[in-house]
A and B are shown apart, each in its own frame.
Chain A
Amino acid sequence: MAHAQRYEQLKALMTPYLPEDVNPDEISPESHFINELNINSAHLVDIILDVEDTFDIRLENEDMDAMQTVKDALEIIDSKLRNQD
């Protein structure tokens, strides 16, 4: 599965958790989940649980702390998947 495809998957699973005043088109790799996309911490947990299911990986508390931006999340997903191979 290509990196670009994972980015699209991640964007798709984030979309339901965006507040009404944030347009899904505004998501970029640099977007900060909490400060820019206005996702609350409870919904960030929901996103992380969905990421686990979608990519079949297990994330730890340190991973959540490191996931500040969309790009951070993608890098963590990539590295978890690499370690599985």
Chain B
Amino acid sequence: MSMDFEQIISILPYDPPFHFVDELLHLDTEGAEGTYTFSEDLDFYRGHFRNQPVTPGVILTECCAQIGLVCLGIFLQQKENPGSIEGRGVAMSSSHMEFYKPVFPGEKVVVRSKKQYFRFGKLKCEVRMYNAKNELVSKGELSGMIKVEKDE
């Protein structure tokens, strides 16, 4: 039994101002695809940069991670352990990203991820982010732990 896309978005452990997934377009055991539009109202534009708002690379990385790594990870974890929604934990363990183009306030991006492996709760993905003109904005590798929490 697999979960539908809206269900996965609804159980993501994020809330504004740190929720960077609007819509999942595709999700299977090999990868995820989703979109996010960076609202002009996002608070960090006031300071990054002064009088010249540009989306910070760490935020682009986070957006890639939420769509490409966490949505996919929850989907895969759910396939392995159906029903175990309670106590799920996610943690990014490594990121290596390259940035090619700026993303300005109001821009919509598409993130696509490709699974490299998911074993022992660790998911490693290749991720790519594209802008509305379908230009590659960023790409890289992200890893994280997607686990049912155990008391330690």
Contacts and interface: CB of A to CB of B under 8 A. Distances in A.
- Are A and B physically bound partners? yes
Interface of A: 40-46, 48-49, 61, 64
A42 B145 contact: yes
Top 6 closest A-B pairs, CB basis? A42-B93, A45-B122, A45-B120, A64-B120, A42-B122, A42-B145
Contacts of B144: 42
Interface string B115-152: 00101111000000000000000000001110100000
Interface in B50-81: none
A40 B120 contact: no
A73 to B, nearest CB: 13
Interface residue SS majority, chain B? strand
Contact of B145 (A41, A48, A49, A61): A41
A49 B144 CA distance: 15
Interface residues of B, number: 12
Contacts of B117: 49
A49 B119 CA distance: 9
B94 interface: yes
A48 B93 CA distance: 16
10 contacts: A41-B93, A42-B91, A42-B94, A42-B143, A42-B144, A45-B145, A46-B122, A48-B119, A49-B117, A49-B119
Given A42-B91, A49-B117, 10 more contacts: A41-B122, A42-B144, A42-B145, A45-B119, A45-B120, A45-B121, A45-B145, A48-B120, A49-B119, A61-B120
Contacts of A42: 91, 93-94, 122, 143-145
A41 B119 CA distance: 12
Contacts of A48: 119-120
B97 to A, nearest CB: 17
B7 to A, nearest CB: 25
Contacts of A49: 117, 119
Contacts of A61: 120
B120 to A, nearest CB: 5
A41 B143 CA distance: 12
